[in-house]
Structure 1
Amino acid sequence: MQIQTTAIHALRGFEHHAVIPPVHLASTFALDPATDSGAFAYQRGSNPTRAQLETVLAALEGSEHAFAFASGMAATAAALSTLGVGDEILLPASVYGGTYRFVGQVLPGRGVTGRYVDHLDDLTDEDFTPATRAVFVETPANPTLRITDLRRVIALAHRHGALVIVDNTFMTPVLQKPLDLGADVVVQSATKYLAGHSDLLAGTIATNDEQLAQAYRLAQQAQGGVLSPQDSFRLIQSLKTLPLRLERQQANADAIVSHLRGHEDIAAVWSPGSHSEHEARLHASQASGRGAVLSFELAEGLDRVTFLQALRYPVYAVSLGGVESLICRPATMTHEAMTPQARAAAGISDELLRLSVGIEDLGDLLADLDQALAASRIR
């Protein structure tokens, strides 16, 4: 079954006959007095609607287990909850700012150390120590869109007994399936492409490892950062259009990248695979598309603030993956938790702009970018 069909029909066979699954709002459920048991007991532990969503997520990921959380960071925190005192995690220097904040400000209190690497493809056996318990990967990286060789990093990490956790928010299972390449865990901010309408917060974890699955169930039960029934239902519905939305977004993004690369008012444009022919071949070998996020810098002689104010369609806001185009300045928005030195090491300049392309008419988007560029020329 292809992924568009899976997104719509993954719940066939559930014990209801409604074409659209019902929403179960109950916080508590009746148990059998003879056994003190039941399929569900309390919403934090499990809920029929959240269970349906997790069934759909697992089907899309091709995983044995999937878990829904109240935000992307709640999912990331749960994925890292298996680390303990004395453990170390390796991360790319350009990791998402929220993850950077969690690793730098929360994990040290648990005795866990984060170590940053300029580019994970440069990792060697010498970079691993007995304390290295996990490698956290973003590919494409946010917001530089650098590509990491998943197969190589996974093999290297496993050789040293370390887990590989992949943040697949930019690609989604439509374009990239890290579990199929050997990753242990996939996390996503479902707020982005999976939900797709900038109207809910959610996070997901997928894994094929039963021991890790037990740890993530415990994280849901003990920490309580679970997705509500209403938002679980809404995410089920949104997932049905994910492949279609992403197809249009990606086509728009490809055309915008081509347009900006030849534009005199643009200093540089980055998209997945654009940094080198090697990265282009690498990305093509592990993903089926480039997604719909690009980054660029204006040429000298253009005013960034004027450009952003002149745009009619892309909204100047954090987040990505919605049906509307969004543009942000990572240095002061998504990655503001980083020090200036850390951002410089990650290749995130103060002038870098990240554009998440929506499903608007392509001609309207291109014309809007052109008029905003023309308006921002310093005279």
Structure 2
Amino acid sequence: MKENFDFLMPSVNFFGKGVIKKIGDRAKMLNMKKPLIVTDKFLRSMDNGPVAQTLASLEAVGVPYTIYDGVEPNPKIRNIQEAKKVYLDNDCDSIITVGGGSSHDAGKGTGIILTNGDDITKLAGIETLQNPLPPLMAVNTTAGTGSELTRHCVITNEKTKLKFVVVSWRNIPLVSFNDPMLMLDVPASLTAATGMDTFVQAIEPYVSTNRNEITDGQCIQAIKLVEESLREAVANGHNIEARTKMVEAEMLGGMAFNNADLGYVHAMAHQLGGQYDAPHGVCCAMLLPIVEKYNIVAAPERFAQLAKIMGENTDGLSTRDAADLSIKAMRQMCDDVKIPRSIKAIGAKPEDFELMAENALKDGNAFSNPRKGTKEEIVQLFQEAYDQK
């Protein structure tokens, strides 16, 4: 556990029913003259949806705007290049992202290439940005990625089918908005996928080599909230209490991994998402029990504690046996929210595993994993995720 650490998060975070109405006032406070709204076509098309409510808040205080609604799942380089053109053609001076992780990453990516050079692939890595992004606010619509809070920007190179991460404190939005009422109509499958991403983003920092006392507390509470509410949110999306708890969990997990980092689950999931354009949360969930079982030997006490946090009875068990119960609980959660067990479900092919394993070990999330693996071991983990039933 790190004794000396910094702790990063947006300077202002609005949470709760109706906070989306505060967007216009905050835009005025930040002196936004003409923000670019970065979102997707589905959210833009919704009557009185998150985009419509964002625009209404801006209009109420007289802030003009321009919209880019071309964000794709697993946002591509072409998306941020298109958004940059819209930004420049319309004399924008700031960015407001509306959506889940894809919109937030696309907005960050747009800001990056506006101020740090057009070739974002050269900026992959940790703290590579020399210049600040344009003023950025993030309106979140899923209890999932935590991207509205974090320094991570994940983009897919559509030519190479590789995801890469630009990690910098400069990517952190100035203001985040998390209104649970925006999430009531999110479909069950997307609720499950994004909710499992939240679950993973609370578990990985808890066993990370970069963890600290503050992130431990955030992880513990986030895991408990997911255990209490994800199944209910998937079963009934209009359960406001469950939705609210999932947003709280998502925010806590985002703050935790923003500072303690992640591990091989995310490093490997990025390869699956880039190669097969698969939903990020689903990729993480399918890998979670496999990767964390592999990690147990590096931190058995932490995994034994995880079992207790997830509600397993560990009385009278050895540390190692208690640790195994944490994997059981992870798999049960995946099954309960209908996540496929095998990565065959997203089109994974064994002939791709060697290259994906090589790239996973280069991913920025790999370096804080508690167990240090070889390419051959990562290939084996992909194979186990492929074979599991």
More strand by share: 1
More helix by share: 2
Work out whether the TM-score is over 0.5: no
Bigger relative contact order (CA 8 A; separation at least 6): 1
State the TM-score bracket (shorter-chain normalisation).
Answer: 0.3 to 0.5
Query: Which has more radius of gyration?
Result: 1
